[in-house]
Structure 1
Amino acid sequence: MTTVTPATETQTPDAFMIPTLAEIEEAAKGLAPVISHTPVLPSHTLSDLLGSPVLLKMENLQRTGSFKVRGATHRLSRLTPEERARGVVAASAGNHAQGVALAAQMLGIPATIFMPLGVPVPKLLATRGYGAEVVLEGETVTTSLRLADEFAERTGAVLIHPFDHRDVVVGQATLGLELLEDAPDVDTIIMGIGGGGLIAGVAAAAKAAAARAGRTVRIIGVQAENAAAMPPSLAAGHPVDIVTRPTIADGILVARPGAVPFEIIQELVDEVVTVTDDDIARAILVLLEQSRVVVEPAGAVGVAAILAGKVKDTGTTLAVLSGGNIDPLLLQRVVSHGLAASGRYLTIRIPLPDRPGQLSRVSELVAEAGANVMEVMHTRHGQGLQISEVILQLSIETRGAEHSELTLETLRRAGYNPIVVPD
């Protein structure tokens, strides 16, 4: 996965003004023919865990599968006729690409999207399906961004930034209006932060709408632990670059917050917390099993924060599921990782004497513990093995961490030495 630091557009002083409720409402009217008003649904599982009502904003059901279409459409709708004629260009490995492509198709604007060679096939096909010209080049999104910059310089096409533009923030803010319309009594809104465009817009809309109703609302941002540029930026008082590490939440893998959203976040966002990839994998699994919804890693970080105990009982809490564009192969890996992180999938290696009946005996013990063997590997080859030894590797389904430990203890009492294989 790649650190993303998109090029910064030249900003006017007005760009750093917090969007007003009036202009956000006007933007919502313009977006109404394009976007879906996604539902807000309760989560009984998370409500029981937190001890107070938890609601889920199902933005994963939005057109193009994420909130990005809001900001992209509003940004493109405000281009002048001369700018529209020049066309637009963007760089992305996923949601921003699809948002710009659909917005350009709806408005009749030529669009060129630079995407890295390793982009997931579903996202590539979706972007092309919206009519954009896709250029596959380079190994990383950073390369795609550079190529998009060069294309804009060469052709005059308007570069559409994924988050660092006021029009994009205003478009994303329409999500905040929907939240307060559907959940007027919400006390806390929690969502992911990448470059900051979504949370800046939602904070501006939600705080203003709540104030108009004579109440307050708390805004909490969540970042992946391996790409958390916001806490040091807030501490410094300005956006700073960080060195990121790989994370499954590639949709919020950003090395530096946008200058425009940062100013709003600094003033309106109440708290920023971080979650691990294990937390995110567990959240995706819980959403899949308990709410029957498919959410991409970046869209699940709000739920991950609740599961990880980073959000306390603060009245009615609403978590934004910001996107659902997850590659099926990644989903398969994430589910397996989530099961392991939840203690429900255990892989062990057991050294055994090379004689008949050992596999049968181990299987009986696992069954006695109430666990289920999912996969078996039996080998006589391995470092440190004696001629008379074999290694038995089992992948076992359990009911959780306590049941996993019970299964291991059952094997130990029978004289075996199970070694847990890290996920």
Structure 2
Amino acid sequence: MSSDPWGRVDETGTVYVRTADGEQVVGSWQAGSPDEALAYFERKYEGLVVEIGLLEKRVKTTDLSAKDALAAIEHLREQVDAHHAVGDLDALRARLDKLVELVEARREERKAQRARQTDEARHAKEALVAEAEELARSDQWRAAGERLRALVDTWKGLPRLDRKSDDELWHRFSHARSAFSKRRKQHFAQLDAQREEARRIKERLVAEAEALSGSTDWGPTAARYRELMAEWKAAGRAQREHEEDLWNRFRGAQDVFFAARSSVFAERDAEQAENLKLKEELAEEAEKLLPVTDLKAARAAFRSINERWEAIGHVPRDARPKVEGRMHTVERAIQEAEEAEWRRTNPEARARAEGLTGQLQAAVDKLQRQIEQARAQGNNAKADKLQKELEGRQALLDQALKGLQEFGG
């Protein structure tokens, strides 16, 4: 008879293993000694230990499915429960039980992870749908179209939801894309129609421009060309293949007319340049009257300068504002001097100013006496209130006195 802590062999060659439920028959051994029997079934046990260890590692380190893992555990449990090994079988059962718990926990974790991923995918697809529906209303045709194409690629990379939810969201997404495509198609169809209409208008404008190119009625023809240009701009763009050719013809007709006009106006421009020189000299003479010290003399001198100014003809259009502005500046200065003189010598205005000043001075004096009286009576609150009123009246008085000084008072 032979034994070890986990098993024994009796005199008949029957091998037993010790468990928490008592001894269990492992098998019968007749081929050798009892020690050899125990060693054989201990190796069986070590084999189970290795297999369980390998399964534990696969569960912990690989993506082995819960179904396959549980099947493997059940297979090993059957071997352990068959008691065909000598060793701590209860410990192996405990390891298998823990492994079942781990697999179940992993399954729940993966289930929760899939739920999270599904929820994230749902939110992502809802966001894509919302953006697509917003883009469907956009008039930024190129940018919105490119963005919608990018959204499709993003959609394809997301996990599928349940069929009903996925189909509903895809229907909205697809409808938004279709609505955008329809609007874009309508827009460009309308744009093509507008460009065709612009082409017809511009061909008519070109025909008229070419007919006017030989005119010598300079003023009205130049005015008509300006009108034609305004109509050209208002017509919008024609198709690209027509626009440049039409513009070259339109511009060429104008160039012919304006080149002829420029030749005729060259002599006139030389005369106007001489006129400008003369008017600049008069403007310089007028500016020497400033500042106005003798109003009567300045008025007479400016009148003389102005008469000579009017006798001179036109100056170049682009130079007119500057040279006329110099004369206007002198004229305004003389007018302001005249107004100041009138205000200073106006007896009615002076009387009103003196009367107002007198009234304000009397009010200030009265308030000062009331403040002194209140202070003497110890009524500082009343004195402070009157003081604020005094400050306001004093400011008005100062202003009135300043105005009176303009009259020399």
- For the criterion TM > 0.5, the same-fold answer is no
Higher RCO, Cα 8 Å, sep 6+? 1
Q: Rg bigger for which structure?
A: 2
Q: Normalising by the residue count of structure 1, what TM-score does the alignment of the two structures yield?
A: 0.18
Which is richer in helix? Answer: 2
TM-score by structure 2 length? 0.18
